[in-house]
Amino acid sequence: MKPEINKNLSTIEISGIRKFFNLIEEYEDVVSLTIGQPDFPTPDHVKEAAVQAIKDNKTTYTHNAGIVELRKAITRYTKDRYQLDYDPMKEVIVTVGASQAIDITLRTIIEPGDEVILPGPIYPGYEPLIKLAGATVKYVDTKQSNFKLTAENLKEAITEKTKCVITPYPSNPTGVTLSEKELREISEVIQENKIFMISDEIYSELVYEQVHTSIASMPGMRDQVIVVNGVSKSFSMTGFRLGYLLAPDWLSQHILKVHQYNVSCASSVSQYAALEALENGTKDPAAMKKEYKNRREYVKGRLDKMGLEYAQPDGAFYMFVKFPESKNSTFDTAIELVEKAGVALVPGSAFSVYGEGYMRLSYAYSQQTLEKGMDRIEKYLTVT
């Protein structure tokens, strides 16, 4: 007889994004606009720093929270960019990507029976971590509020069991973000109800028409918010798996315990690469952002000509596109797009039930790839 495993795993599936991506690999001549990975190479000076770290034998364990130089660089960077003031010695933890930062935070603050609020549609990586921490998920439908969590719909969702709210802005999959006024209103609700907020700001460097504002900069929020960020999207360093979290000292000392027994520390080589990025590569994200913005405008123009609706993206590199109503599910329509048009988008249902009827299109691809993909979508719509 087989021993039993964690029962929570029976309700957890492989990410819908990856599931669909893996499914279409068997097809030939498919233009994939599915994965949210920068198509730019990691900046040369960052790669050189990683190589130099290896040559200098900086390949041992580091402090559990990360090398001091990197923690200091993170606090300088976030203070300069987002007006956040954290102590590098006590309030910064360097993690194995932003995902690990979210995981160890949830495992620190969550107890069985708690609820965590998510604004749907939303990146599918949060729900499994919430369940593994022993909590349940409560979704807020944001389709009627321009895909934004608002103070009003948050207030309606909070119950006596609510422990935490996760906000991912700029958003994956919609690309929308929140204004300073909207963040301030949400922060007031968070403080009134004495709950935590995890603010996933991994796309903070990819905001186009406005300046990114962190909810941690709102008055009175410091003790209730954990800021999660990293270098994956901003510096095109996804494979380095280097993230970080910012939290008040009284909380971070407990998160550090979970982190310590989870991974000991982030990769030493990746830490030195990130140090180079944050100290000497502050202009690198701007060049990438300029190109993403051009691609966004191109995709928006093509979608407008096709008569397709979409969430108005303020940041990240995604378009959340509403496809014509059909008797088919969004997943089936996505398969049909692959089979009949040779183009792959992620079905919106991968981002919770509130994404049904939409498709996520990533424009983190070359202009040539985007043109080819948009041509195929247009042809599909013309003949169906």
Same domain, 326 and 213: no
Is the separation of the CB atoms in 341 and 376 below 8 Å? yes
190 falls in which pLDDT band (50, 70, 90)? very high
Residue 264 lies in a domain: yes
Same domain, 302 and 328: yes
Residue 48 lies in a domain: no
Q: How long is the chain? A: 384
Beta-carbon neighbour count of residue 314 at 10 Å? 23
The amino acid that residue 279 corresponds to is E
Mean residue pLDDT across the chain: 94
Number of domains in the chain: 2
- Euclidean distance between CA atoms 187 and 216, whole angstroms: 9
Final residue in a domain of this structure, among 229, 248, 280: 280
Same domain, 253 and 323: no
Identify the domain containing residue 190 by its residue range: 56-280
Final residue in a domain of this structure, among 265, 280, 295: 280
Q: What is the pLDDT of residue 200?
A: 98
Same domain, 83 and 118: yes
Task: State mean pLDDT over 145-173.
Answer: 97
Task: State mean pLDDT over 364-381.
Answer: 96
Q: What is the pLDDT of residues 99-125, one digit of tens each?
A: 999 999 999 999 999 999 999 999 999
Same domain, 296 and 264: no
The answer to whether residue 16 scores a pLDDT higher than 70 is no
Q: What is the pLDDT of residues 23-76, one digit of tens each?
A: 777 778 899 999 888 999 999 999 999 999 999 999 999 999 999 999 999 999
CATH assignment of the domain containing 366: 3.90.1150.10
Q: What is the pLDDT of residue 308?
A: 96
Range from 14-18, 131-135, 237-241 carrying the lowest mean pLDDT: 14-18
Give the rounded percent of residues in the chain with a pLDDT score beyond 70.
98
383 falls in which pLDDT band (50, 70, 90)? confident
Residue 261 lies in a domain: yes
Final residue in a domain of this structure, among 280, 299, 323: 280
